[in-house]
Structure 1
Amino acid sequence: MWQDFIDCINARELSTLCAIFRLLLALLLGSAIGLERKRKGQAAGLRTFALISMGACLAMILSIYVPQEYLGLKNGDPGRIAAQVITGIGFLGAGAIIQMKGSVRGLTTAAGIWIIATIGMAVGVGMYIVAIAATLLVLAILSVLEMIEYRISLGHEARTIRLRISGIIHSIDGYREVLSRHHIHLSRVYVDFEYDADYTRLNLLVIVPDRYDFMTVFHDLSRVNSTISISLSNQADLS
């Protein structure tokens, strides 16, 4: 049994046992990254990443199986299935961003969806070491680099400025200019148009020094467009 398993890992030709092993490995690697995303409270979590990884792996298995079993095919191109996987993953990644209604909070998740698909494809073609190494690197980026970013921002805090603006705004350049003039870093933006009430809800996630005085900033922001109200939240929450 164990010898068959070892032979499966080193096999050049695809067998049923080898295909099952690759699917299980893709499931494991996808679950590892998905668990990290789930821990961060992202909508695309454990199940989503596991399914994407397995699906990409299965697509690559089919790409190998078809020319292996049907040698008489003259127009067969094993790369076509892989290319379509990348296209489909692009739609999934776009959906993760659109779901946030204009916020860029979904970019890391979208990038994670794309990279886990390529990891699954690597497993599907038998590049086990490369796939495992890529998974470890992704986990390092999502955890270690986040800690580095946090240490860099020590002495600063994230705040959310919430504005209600009369009518529908077409640009936030005026607000960006005010924040830039006060040396405030704008991290993320959330825009929500309330067509029934005829006003725009604009939330700005900013990075400022600890105990920053916002009074002058609020005064300048209130003069941009037809601002109805301005409030400040201590939480880095754009929704």
Structure 2
Amino acid sequence: MISDLDICIRVAVAFVLGGIIGYERQSRNKWAGLRTHVLVCLGSCLIMILSINIYYSVQGQTNADPARLAAQVVSGIGFLGAGTIMKEGATVKGLTTAASIWVVSGVGLAVGAGYFWGALFTTCLVLLTLTTLSRLEKSYSQGYTATLLLSIVDKPGQIGKIGSYLGQHCVSIRDIRIEEHDDHGHSLLVTLMLHFPDRVNVNEVIANLMAIDGVMAVKRE
């Protein structure tokens, strides 16, 4: 049985660790910031403590599983995380914040179970991921986005040839939409949302795509 003093200590630690992660999200003006992360961490911690204490209070009287109540946090937190995800066209925003809410619930559970060092180390790794790795991610994804409309012959392997060319020039496909271009089904209209590295000229890409056999027309939207 966890004592009242130990409960207060664990809840206080959850408050601090959840606040550290939440402050990082708040500083970046994310939908879920300091208060949300603190509350999630506190709630998870308290539920874990309740699970342990309830188990000890009925030990020997039933086959209760001490992890059953706490396990609901993992699945239930998904509803809260889903509220931070926004879709704008082909761009999805808020996935990182949703993941941080999910992780901070795990930190709260770990603190509630008494695994302080594991929770502290996880918090440090979360901060490392949200700060250092985000800068690396931005440096990797530098460039610009453009949408191209391609009219192509409907034959096997045509999309593959286009994708191979784009991949060779480090142009990534962010979104693709394919529809029939005529009533007879002989041609297709392909809409590509592409991300170009700074060094790649979109006009050169359009010219080279036009040179691919089966590509009838390419224009920038």
Contact 1:93 1:111 in 2 (8 A): yes
1:50 matched to which residue of 2? 38
Does 2:49 match 1:64? no
Residue of 171, 181, 189 corresponding to 1:185: 171
TM-score with structure 1 setting the length: 0.65
Distance 1:185 1:24, change over 3 A: farther
1:159 matched to which residue of 2? 144
2:198 matched to which residue of 1? 209
**Separation of aligned partners in 1, 2:32 and 2:175:** 21
**Separation of aligned partners in 2, 1:146 and 1:117:** 21
Distance 1:223 1:106, change over 3 A: farther
Distance 1:107 1:64, change over 3 A: same
2:185 matched to which residue of 1? none
- Report how far residue 87 of structure 1 moved: 0.9
- Report how far residue 86 of structure 1 moved: 0.8
Structure 2 unaligned spans of 5+: 150-157, 178-190, 211-215
**Separation of aligned partners in 2, 1:160 and 1:181:** 17
**Separation of aligned partners in 2, 1:207 and 1:82:** 45
**Separation of aligned partners in 2, 1:35 and 1:28:** 10
Residue of 72, 75, 85 corresponding to 1:87: 75
Residue of 114, 119, 124 corresponding to 1:136: 124
Contact 2:173 2:192 in 1 (8 A): no
**Separation of aligned partners in 1, 2:160 and 2:98:** 26
Contact 1:38 1:45 in 2 (8 A): yes
- Report how far residue 139 of structure 1 moved: 0.7
1:6 matched to which residue of 2? none
Contact 2:144 2:198 in 1 (8 A): no
**Separation of aligned partners in 1, 2:132 and 2:76:** 30
**Separation of aligned partners in 2, 1:62 and 1:77:** 12
Contact 2:82 2:98 in 1 (8 A): yes
> What's the C-alpha RMSD, in Å, of the aligned pairs?
3.4
- What is the letter of the counterpart of residue 142 of structure 1? L
**Separation of aligned partners in 1, 2:124 and 2:159:** 40
1:38 matched to which residue of 2? 26
Distance 1:176 1:58, change over 3 A: farther
Contact 2:142 2:198 in 1 (8 A): yes
- What is the letter of the counterpart of residue 108 of structure 1? T
- Report how far residue 112 of structure 1 moved: 1.5
Structure 1 unaligned spans of 5+: 1-12, 165-173, 192-201, 231-239
**Separation of aligned partners in 2, 1:71 and 1:116:** 29
- Report how far residue 61 of structure 1 moved: 0.9
Corresponding residue pairs, total: 192
SS at match of 1:96: coil
Distance 1:150 1:121, change over 3 A: same
